[in-house]
Amino acid sequence: METQLILLLGAALLACGSAGLLIVRLTNPRLGGLGWLGAAFASGGIGAVLLLTSDRTPVFVGILLADGFLLLAFVLIHMAVLELEERSSMFPGLGIALLTIQLATDLALIAGYGAPRLRVEVAGVLIAAQVGQTAIRLVQLDRRANRPAVLFTAGILFCFMVFNLIRSLLVAFGGTRGRVFVRNTTDLVYAVYIVVALGVAFGFFWMTTAILSHDLELMASTDPLTRVYNRRYFLQWCEKERARTQRTQIGFAILMVDIDYFKRINDAFGHAAGDSVICAVVERMQDAVRGIDVIGRWGGEEFVVLLPGASAVSAVMVAQRVRKNVEKISLPETLSADPESIQIADVTVSIGVAGYQGAEDEIPNILERADRALYKAKASGRNRVAETA
């Protein structure tokens, strides 16, 4: 009677969870993985109902379909993780193989081959294999995901994997006493399945909301074309660096970078080509600076670079490296039939350099000096680096 109550409770919880997850997924497409998780709950709920009615249904239904739906639930959880990863291919190769093994084992049992305990042994090992793969995939999620949430969910799955392996080993090698113990703890097994389902659902909500929060913050802080920081967020970085400098007395510098004759490039090659040039310049800039340096798009074809800890001399060296890197970009002549456009096919930048000058030096002042230095570089012929006096 207790077993039936646990299965009934499990089926009801999984059905409600499935409906809730699917509704959330449909109303917010950004919450990846929840649709597959809802399908997993539905599959698990069907499996629980089939187990609940196994004494009143044909053996084919009570064994084959129940085992299949329960294993399918864990395959679908794995697909939820794949969608969370935004993988191009979501084909669950291992899951299909495990379902095939489960089908073959159950057909053999129905046909009278093998002892009944084989069902418990094989099911436990197959579920452990799928859960283990999912836990490993979770740990490999990129840094957008909240690590505590990932480790929480992966930890639940690892523990569940160990639980299933121990249960299978007790049935296989524990002798009569081991099999009696497993049979007497059936209610505990079903309760563990319910707890794992609730824990995984909580973990997924935690992960998906963390990823959504990260993505929204990224959208608010970066330029959509180049994926470098926008002006507002760059200024925040500058203020943090100024505060750090006042504590450590280690200076910093700012570069103001402008693409030379960018309007001519747009006019000759079109705005799409202009966007490509902007992205190419950003890539060259990223190759020329350090990992701790911060690049921002100031507006249009103008960029800024924050160089933490850089002296005036080293800032000029970085600026020259950026300028020479950008010089390597050339527009294909085939983009325009206008012979005059070939004259501006080479992409260059002019750069102004300004450094921090003491406790009274504010960020707007540094930027103003960098801007004056930039105009100085342009006035002296472009494709130059200039610094303020």
Domain span at residue 254 reads 231-387
In this prediction, residue 1 carries a pLDDT of: 52
- Confidence band for 336, pLDDT divided at 50, 70 and 90: very low
Of 33, 123, 131, the closest CA to residue 80 belongs to 33
Does 51 lie in the same domain as 139? yes
Most trustworthy range by pLDDT among 144-158, 267-281, 363-377: 363-377
Q: Do both 195 and 247 map to the same domain?
A: no
The CATH number covering residue 89 comes to 1.20.1070
Q: Is residue 86 one of the residues assigned to a domain? A: yes
- If asked whether residues 127 and 269 sit together in one domain, one would say no
Q: Is the pLDDT of residue 337 over 50?
A: no
Residue 38 has pLDDT above 50, yes or no: yes
239 inside domain: yes
Question: Which of these three, 188, 219, 250, is where a domain ends?
Answer: 219
Compute the average pLDDT of residues 351-358. 94
pTM: 0.69
Boundary residue ending a domain (158, 192, 219):
219
Between 191 and 332, the higher pLDDT residue = 191
State yes or no: pLDDT of 263 exceeds 90: no
Domain co-membership, 210 together with 250 = no
Total domains present in the chain: 2
Q: Tell me the per-residue pLDDT of 63-119, one tens digit each, with 9 for 90 and over.
A: 788 899 999 999 999 999 998 887 777 889 999 999 999 999 988 888 888 777 788
- CATH number for 252: 3.30.70.270
* Terminal CA-CA length for the chain: 88
User: What percentage of the chain carries pLDDT values higher than 70?
Assistant: 94
Residue type, 230: N
Order of strands, sheet of 302-308, starting from the edge strand that comes earlier in the sequence: 294-299, 302-308, 252-259, 349-355, 385-387
Residue 293 lies in a domain: yes
Task: Tell me whether residue 198 is in a domain.
Answer: yes
pLDDT at 332: 58
224 within a domain of the structure (yes/no):
no
Same domain, residue pair 49 and 177? yes
**41 plus 109 within the same structural domain:** yes
Nearest by Cα to 186 from 170, 197, 202: 170
3-state SS, the chain, equals CHHHHHHHHHHHHHHHHHHHHHHHHHHCCCCCCHHHHHHHHHHHHHHHHHHHCHHHCCHHHHHHHHHHHHHHHHHHHHHHHHHHHCCCCCCCHHHHHHHHHHHHHHHHHHCCCCCCHHHHHHHHHHHHHHHHHHHHHHHCCCCCCCHHHHHHHHHHHHHHHHHHHHHHHHHHHCHHHHHHHHHHCHHHHHHHHHHHHHHHHHHHHHHHHHHHHHHHHHHHHECCCCCCECHHHHHHHHHHHHHHHHHHCCCEEEEEEEECCHHHHHHHHCHHHHHHHHHHHHHHHHHHCCCCCEEEEEECCEEEEEEECCCHHHHHHHHHHHHHHHCCCECCHHHCCCHHHHHHCECCEEEEEEECCCCCCCHHHHHHHHHHHHHHHHHCCCCCEEECC
Of residues 2 and 190, which shows the higher confidence score? 190
Task: Tell me: do 251 and 201 sit in the same domain.
Answer: no
pLDDT tens digit string along 265-289?
888 878 888 898 999 999 999 999 9
Task: Judge if 194 and 301 occupy the same domain.
Answer: no
Q: Are residues 263 and 201 located together in one domain of the fold?
A: no
- Whether residue 157 is found in the same domain as residue 209: yes
> Is residue 202 located within the same domain as residue 332?
no
pLDDT interval class at 253 (50, 70, 90): very high
Assigned domain for 225 exists: no
119 shares its domain with 189: yes
Where residue 222 falls among pLDDT bands split at 50, 70, 90?
Answer: confident
**Per the domain annotation, does 226 fall within a domain?**
no
Does the pLDDT value for residue 318 go beyond 80?
yes
Report whether pLDDT(238) > 90: yes
Of residues 216 and 38, more confidence is placed in 38
